[in-house]
Amino acid sequence: MNVAEPVSFDLTDQPWLPARTLAGEQIELSLVDVLVQAHTLSGLTCEVGTQMFALTRLLLAVLHGAVDGPRDVDHWERLWSQETLPADAIKSYLAKCRDRFDLFHPQTPFLQVAGLRTAKGEVSELNKLIADVPNGHPFFTTRIGGPLRLSYAEAARWLVHCHAFDPSGIKSGAEGDPRVKGGKGYPIGTGWSGNLGGVLPEGRTLRETLLLNLIAAESVALRRDPAIDLPVWERKPAGVTEEQEGGRAPAGPVDLYTWQSRRIRLVREDGAVTAVLICNGERSTPQNKNLVEPHTAWRRSQAQEKKLRQPLVYMPREHLPERAVWRGLQSLLPGAETGQGSEAAAFLSPGVLEWVAEVADIVGPDQPLRLHTVGMTYGAQSSTTSDILDDHIELRSILISRGARALVQTALDSVAAAENGALAVSRLASNLAAATGAGKDDRDGPRERASERCYAALDIEFRAWLRGLRADTDPIEAARAWHTTANRSIRALGAELLEQAPMTAWSGRIVNGHLLTSAHADRYFRKAVRDAFPFAYNDDSEAAS
């Protein structure tokens, strides 16, 4: 280390968190300032969505500690009613924990292990730390052109991200870790958040966002004991080994917000971070963590029930790259998914949205919300980063509350109608291909392309329709409006496909013993579209204008 180099980089007073002001200005703020000024900020603006997710959860862990709660809904309501977050409490709390937020503290460096080393003293290049540098695929990155160097602020952000989303696979073997074999740390899974289909409700300001996600200890959404659910800076500093052999159970959501999935040490030189050592840290399995992890929906897994010989197992519901977030509303909205009779529900909505439903009367029915969905997909054995998923939908809080069942059902039915419409388009494309002589396998391509085009056409329209639903919206009129809009788009797409069909489709082919022509395909399509969007049609069977 250069002797003139600053000894520390204190994250409580050094700017490192990128944010956008309500006026649209991009700035970097310290941990204290981003919380104290949260009412003037629209939110964090990070390099990738997964980094925003990890850093927001870090801020939540700080805020839980600073307010010593919230203990219950009444405590939360007092926080919501204030124009700003409690500045004095935030400053006092972070001053008390200051040493644990020094990126290069000699004994307790932030989210690192002092003196961490391998038996041979190796370290890795920074592509192990940065998620936008896929191993073996450098053409995906904008960071090409010489050895990687990170500012201390950048390194701190990627450090938080690494604990949350680091791929699985073989890691460097930490000296003194009994799990190491042959100098290698064998896979223990991805960082904790890599298991999740992340869901963050966002408000109009960062202050609103943080409070909407600040779940009270006495809530129906989660199980939390503040006496033991502590962030990493209030716990004993981590060593090279697991806290408990075989792994410990997370104590609550705050514990998971700062879960140290890895043991890490940053290496710096001449005012920049130039290398990193990443070893295995705390392992944790995702089964049935729905009472301690609020930022994901959950799906019932019969495969896991059979494997673990348990009657009921829920797993995080991960996002699908090819599926827009609005198509998964069923698993997001509280109360939308219920079991049949004595059967358990197939999905559980995110605990954080259950919490928003719990405080709906305080927030108000027409509070603008942005459901921000974030996730990471991995390659084989989850050992490499494959893709980062980042999407959002805007809606009013009435759809999160439990007091608008008819409107919620209209939203869910409208998703189902869109999917039925897309199915009609894909079948039209398949039938047109068959009418020109395409074999069964050769119809898959046209069918899939037509489905993709349909969802692309409906995407902007559905988001706009959903955003317009308010507490005083009539559910039947809303359904009619969506059916009319979607019907128009899908009929136009169908007409396009018919116009582009080869002339041979007019004469058709014998398919499954029956003649199939483009006229037949059109007739089947029109019936399917009418069935999907009945409110778009008058009694005389003509489409409503």
pLDDT tens per residue across span 254-274: 999 999 999 999 999 999 999
- How far apart are alpha carbons 207 and 209 in whole angstroms? 5
Identity of the amino acid at 295: H
For residue 221, the model assigns a pLDDT of 83
Mean pLDDT of the chain: 94
Note whether 356 and 201 are within 8 A (CB): yes
- How far apart are alpha carbons 130 and 51 in whole angstroms? 10
| Of the candidates 493, 355, 335, the residue with the CA atom closest to the CA atom of residue 77 | 355
Q: What percent of the chain has pLDDT over 70?
A: 94
List strand residue ranges (DSSP E) for 235-335, in order: 262-269, 272-280, 298-300, 314-316
For residue 336, the model assigns a pLDDT of 81
In tens, the pLDDT along 323-333 reads 999 999 999 99
State both tokens at 26.
């991009």
Domain ranges of the chain: 9-169+176-403, 406-536
- Average the pLDDT over 477-500 and give the result: 98
- How far apart are alpha carbons 267 and 248 in whole angstroms? 29
Helix (H, G, I), strand (E, B) or coil at 318: coil
Residue 133 reports pLDDT greater than 70: no
- How far apart are alpha carbons 411 and 397 in whole angstroms? 13
For residue 140, the model assigns a pLDDT of 45
- Average the pLDDT over 480-490 and give the result: 98
- Average the pLDDT over 236-263 and give the result: 95
Residue of higher predicted confidence among 147 and 86: 86
Confidence of residue 135 (pLDDT cuts 50, 70, 90): low
Residue 390 reports pLDDT greater than 90: yes
| Of the candidates 359, 349, 342, the residue with the CA atom closest to the CA atom of residue 328 | 349
For residue 7, the model assigns a pLDDT of 78
Residue 298 reports pLDDT greater than 70: yes
For residue 146, the model assigns a pLDDT of 61
- Average the pLDDT over 477-504 and give the result: 97
Note whether 250 and 104 are within 8 A (CB): no
- Average the pLDDT over 296-313 and give the result: 96
Contacts of 235 (CB under 8 A, 6+ apart): none
DSSP letters for 425-453? HHHHHHHHHHHTT--TGGGHHHHHHHHHH
Confidence of residue 139 (pLDDT cuts 50, 70, 90): very low
- Average the pLDDT over 397-416 and give the result: 95
* The CATH number of domain 406-536 is 3.30.465.10: no
The count of other CB atoms within 10 Å of the CB of residue 355 is 25
- Average the pLDDT over 75-80 and give the result: 98
For residue 1, the model assigns a pLDDT of 46
In tens, the pLDDT along 331-366 reads 999 978 766 667 899 999 999 999 999 999 999 999
For residue 541, the model assigns a pLDDT of 53
Note whether 369 and 381 are within 8 A (CB): no
Helix (H, G, I), strand (E, B) or coil at 242: coil
- How far apart are alpha carbons 249 and 406 in whole angstroms? 40
State both tokens at 76.
């939360």
Identity of the amino acid at 532: A
Confidence of residue 545 (pLDDT cuts 50, 70, 90): very low
Residue 489 reports pLDDT greater than 60: yes
* Helix, strand, coil share (%) of the chain residues, nearest 5: 40, 15, 45
